[in-house]
Structure 1
């Protein structure tokens, strides 16, 4: 296959942990050809199909100079066997526009994973609300009074912005309500911005588990991102320690319920975040942790992904 990765700049990859790099490495190992571009390289001229200025690359196996650029060319997206959208959040206006260009490319015959419309339809924090049987009590609102009533009901809560990533902007408020008013003002900007509020799940001490689902099937190991020191966030970007572990019965129940449903909507790869028995987020843009799980548990996650990609693009 000829595969195009739409991603962040190649020069910024941290290959020792990068999931997109692990996908590329496995694809090349199987003999597939690899190209890459950034969303800013996409273009659509009137009367033409969607193109991109792409970099055709070969992975070298070197730790530092990890790729060799063979050619740079303007190519139609429908000329690739698979286009993999791996641009990291934030899901801002430019990401939104990129999904529209990719959706037009689909109409022209391109095979895009994850499906652009599905990326738009499943905001990573809001998507959990479709599955209330798996979430802790949760409120989505712009109203400060609603947040205060929710806090009075549940005592200890977590507040977060809907567009945050890597644990950014997450606050914990205890039963005493210390700084609640200030936190609400900071996050919802006096009612201008919608926020999410959840009952605090104390099992965060054992880790925020990343459960990967590929082609509707769960990877049998999760990566528990365990908070360090006085931190409440397990995100690796916030200093959490990643520990691979077998899926619990509850993890598997969540994955087997949600995975096939979202796969049918065009989401080849999703990452479920689970704290204790509670689903906290559904990651659809660029789920990570392939390399950590593979290295620690010995289960080849990139191979499972490329298997699913080959089947989906056939």
Structure 2
């Protein structure tokens, strides 16, 4: 197969941990050929098809100069590739949103896109948990200053987060004393202009914010617990968390087996559930990570599981 990755600039990859790189490596190992482009390379014109200026790649095996460009093509229709993998990292901003519409048009023209563009739009990573209330802790989504204050009065120790954040950015904890609650609300909701998610603080974060991978509708048997360091409340690796691979618990399996088939049926080949203790806190669909950390620590070949699922999807 000839696979196109829509991703961030290749030059920015940290290949020792990058999940997209691990996908590329496994695909090339199996004899598939690779190409890449960025969001800015996508174009559609009346009378034509959604196309992109792409670079055809070969991975070199070198840690520094890890890829070489075999050919740099002019505009190539996306439906000329066997599969298109949307791997642009968050944030899910306007440009990401517009790209999903271009990719959906490419689907109408015959392209196979993973994750499905409509499913990316329909499952914002913070709000997707609302569909599964039986698996989440106390949560409120609101613009209202008064509603947030009432939620704090009830639960006493809370986490506030913007709906468009990533990597732990913009996350605040407010304890029982309510210190700086007003200032934090003003910062996040901008006087009622922005919607905010507020959740009861889960002490189990001390044991890690677990990333559970759902691949082709099936949970991977290991997760990566991202453990806060140095007094941080955030376990995100981007915020300095330490990643420790673990087997799924019975509760993890219960959550994953309930959610996985629902999301897979909607066209989400790869999903990353964030679970603290026994509660789902986010559902990541844009560019889930942690393949290499789990593989390196446990020996379980997550990239191979993903490519197996992709190859199976291409036959369906």
For this structure pair, what is the TM-score category when the shorter chain's length is used for normalisation?
over 0.9
Partner of residue 199, structure 1: 200
Cα distance in structure 1, aligned partners of 2:237 and 2:51: 35
Note if 1:66 corresponds to 2:66: yes
CA deviation vs aligned residue, 1:145-179 (integer Å, no higher than 9, x gap): 00000001111100000000000000000111111
1:233 matched to 2:234? The reply is: yes
Secondary structure of 2:21's counterpart equals: helix
Separation in 1 of the partners of 2:302 and 2:8? 21
| Structure 1 residue 229 displacement after superposition | 1.3
Q: Residue in 2 aligned with 1:167?
A: 168
Q: Secondary structure at the match of 1:166?
A: coil
Instruction: Give the aligned partner of residue 260 of structure 2.
Output: 259
> What is the aligned partner in structure 1 of residue 100 from structure 2?
99
* Deviating 4+ runs (over 2 angstroms): none
SS of 2:120's equivalent in the other structure is: helix
Please state whether the residue corresponding to 1:266 is helix, strand or coil: coil
Matched residue SS, 1:61: coil
Residue matched to 2:29: 29
Q: Secondary structure at the match of 1:220?
A: strand
1:162-210, CA deviations, whole angstroms, 9 ceiling, x for partnerless residues?
Answer: 0000000000001111111110000000100000000000000000000
- 1:269 and 2:267 correspond: no
**Correspondence for 1:145:** 146
Q: Distance in 2 between matches of 1:200 and 1:27?
A: 41
**How far apart, CA to CA, are the structure 2 residues paired with 1:254 and 1:41?**
38
1:215 is matched with 216
What is the TM-score normalised by the length of structure 2? 0.99
**1:233-288 deviation digits (Å, cap 9, x = unpaired):** 00000000000000001111111000000000000000000000010000000000
Aligned to 1:17: 17
For residues 196 and 254 of structure 2, the distance between their equivalents in structure 1, rounded to whole angstroms, comes to: 28
Give matches, 1:100-139, under 5 Å: 100-139=101-140
SS where residue 31 of structure 2 aligns? coil
SS of aligned partner of 1:299: coil
Q: CA deviation at 1:313?
A: 1.2
**Alpha-carbon distance in 2 for matches of 1:218, 1:27:** 21
SS in 2 for 1:149: helix
Question: CA separation in 2, counterparts of 1:101 and 1:223?
Answer: 33
> What is the CA–CA distance in structure 1 between the aligned matches of 2:136 and 2:274, rounded to whole Å?
11
Asked if 1:188 is matched to 2:225, the reply is no
Give distance in 2, aligned partners of 1:132 and 1:147: 19
Instruction: Count how many residue pairs are aligned between Structure 1 and Structure 2.
Output: 314
Could you tell me which residue of structure 2 aligns to residue 308 of structure 1?
309
Q: CA deviation at 1:72?
A: 1.1
- TM-score, structure 1 length as denominator? 1.00
Which residue is 1:87 aligned to?
A: 88
Corresponding residue of 1:291? 292
Deviation at 1:128, TM superposition (A): 0.3
RMSD (Å) for aligned C-alpha atoms: 0.4
Task: Give 5+ residue unaligned stretches, structure 1.
Answer: none
